[in-house]
Structure 1
Amino acid sequence: MTFDPQQLGESRADLAQTLKTMRKRAGWTQTRLAQRCNMSQTKVSNIESGKLTPALVDVELILRALDAPTSLVNEVMVLARMANTEWKDAWSSRRRGLDKRQNELAGFEESSTEFRYFLPTMITGLLATPEYVRASIADVPGDQSKTVAKKLERQAVLHDGSKQFTFVLTEQAVRWPLVPPAALAMQMDRLSSLTRLSNVRIGVIPIGPSVMPGPLNVFTVYDDRIATVETSTGVMVFRDHRDVSAYRDEFSTYERHALFSEQARERLNEWSAVFTRQRE
């Protein structure tokens, strides 16, 4: 399925209006529809007003209850899929200020308890040293001090014992020379130390045996509700359970190939020693 960013922005309102129109044409009240779908009348009202984006299973229940024709079901399900997908382009994020993006990520972290991060290219800000954070946004023009401060501030969430984090990094991500050798060695030492937090699992996938599927994008899964996928031009946000489940399954595949705990620390220490020697 091809997503048009403009259509993604309009699809929620279109879906809400379409479902409302279908119910009225059927001569049903919100209460009757809610009873047939085993939902509350408030939920139906919020869906039709656009206050709540329904999951695909909710839309399927509504269409089945209204006995919608197949051609219309297909059309509405496309709308529903698009309504559960959001596109955040990189240029808009930069215009608004990257510190605003940090606030959005902090919101995801506040409302979630279980996190899965797959990092095939670079180290994420939650795990980064200050020097690494600064280097990661060095190509963005203007004063980035607020963004750096917010990125470092967000790291406090790692010490919230009510939340569970799993990070899987490829060897390429860990060893990518974003900073000078000495700084990169310190970054690896930080990763090693963070593996000792009881609620944080950091796994590394060394270059070696074949890992399938081949890694394509950075992605994060928040609980079983949201998956975000990063590209060079922006971020896709998926809320449909089938999309989220697909990324959870992909994460599990990479997780099985990763080294954790003492094995991860041993490998990180080996890599750190290589870069430490480079500065001598």
Structure 2
Amino acid sequence: MSGPAATAARFRGWPLTLTLAAVTGLSVGPFYWLVVGSTHKDTEIFDWPPHLLPGGSLGENLDHLQAKIGLGRVLVNSLAIAGLQTAGALVVALLAGYAFAKFRFRGRTVLFALLLSTLVVPEQVMLVPLFKMMMSFRLLDSYQAVVLPGLCVPFAIFLMRQALGSMPDELLDAARVDGAGELRVLWSVVVPVMRPVLAALAIFLFLGSWNQFVWPLIALRSPEMHTLPVAIATLHGSRTTTDHGAILAGTALSTLPMMVLFLALQRQFISGLLAGATKG
């Protein structure tokens, strides 16, 4: 197609292109400013016009962050808590989802309905009883206090139950006929088939655990046990002048584990999200 018709077709595509460009700019712009701001001194961050190119103070900001909150220690705390919680929640979701989807037992429907009903309970409502429970178990100010409440995630169990419900029973029966026990069936048959769903779920669980703030703030009392979001929050008001450069550097650094995890599981993540759409 050439001539006036081709020109008209190109002009008709411009509104969509400009709209997508504007939406992309609104989405990427704050993150770009966060990265650029983390490389400037505290006194330069609010200059006008703003700095749009990276500066040379990233190392200085990270040094300030290390001196004030112990950057290495809080990173280890966050990674340990998020990793343990994600792995444990995946195991619980897989086992519970498998039981709800593939076994028939008395009270299954009632139990599943009760599980789903917890989705509408606000997290803030559970803070006081959860605090009393951890205090009675003498688990406050420990990894267990943060990890254990996040092992049972109703949404994760629901997602695994729905995904496993579409898995043919013939595959499981064939493995049982060959003499495999339930754990062997789960590991050798279910896990390979559910790998995309597990990868997508792992990203959601890790993101939720990594960004968790309110409960770690309550349960972890000593600065040595703080996670990265809690430690960064303590920088506000710790001095007469807040070190915004250090805060921006810590916030930018907190996005790296999620980016690495997403890039590592990108294919499985997309496959997991499209699994339901590709079934005939």
**TM-score scaled by length of structure 1:** 0.21
Asked which structure has the greater RCO (Cα within 8 Å, sep 6+), the reply is: 2
Q: Which has the higher helix share?
A: 2
Q: Which protein is bigger by CA-based radius of gyration?
A: 2
Q: Which has the higher strand share?
A: 1
**TM-score scaled by length of structure 2:** 0.21
